[in-house]
Amino acid sequence: MAGIIRITMFKVPSQASRDTMLKNYETLSKKAVKDSAPYIVSLQAGETQANDPRTQGFSVVAKTEFKSLEDMKYYEDSCEAHKWFKGEAKTLGVEGMCCVYYEPSVVA
């Protein structure tokens, strides 16, 4: 079963803020629960390659996988851990973000 993949990219100018954001993703991955159980299938986050022009200024990327669209909607609208993460992100000087999601058509 493929599930839903959510990609979020941030433009975070300072190294200290990028480090904090990645630590916050670690915390989020441990605290995100739905009906008292973990519901995120997988979460990966990291920094982009600094001198690669393809990044278009995005410096932190996260890939989050959910079993269903319903679980992703819960994450976006109701998850207390994600609400905390978004509040913390607002303090880090984020200069832009992009978020997309999809259900894989090709899995190899």
Check residue 1 and give its pLDDT: 53
Sign of torsion, CA 78 57 24 37? positive
pLDDT per position as a tens digit, 39-50: 999 999 999 998
* Topology at the third CATH level for domain 4-102: Alpha-Beta Plaits (3.30.70)
3-28: average pLDDT: 98
pLDDT above 90 for 62: yes
Q: How much of the chain exceeds pLDDT 90, in percent?
A: 94
pTM, entire model: 0.93
Show the 3-state SS of 64-80. EEECCHHHHHHHHHCCH
Question: Greater confidence, 77 or 51?
Answer: 77
Looking at the predicted structure, is the pLDDT value of residue 84 above 70?
Answer: yes
**What average pLDDT does range 22-48 have in this prediction?**
97
The answer to whether residue 61 scores a pLDDT higher than 60 is yes
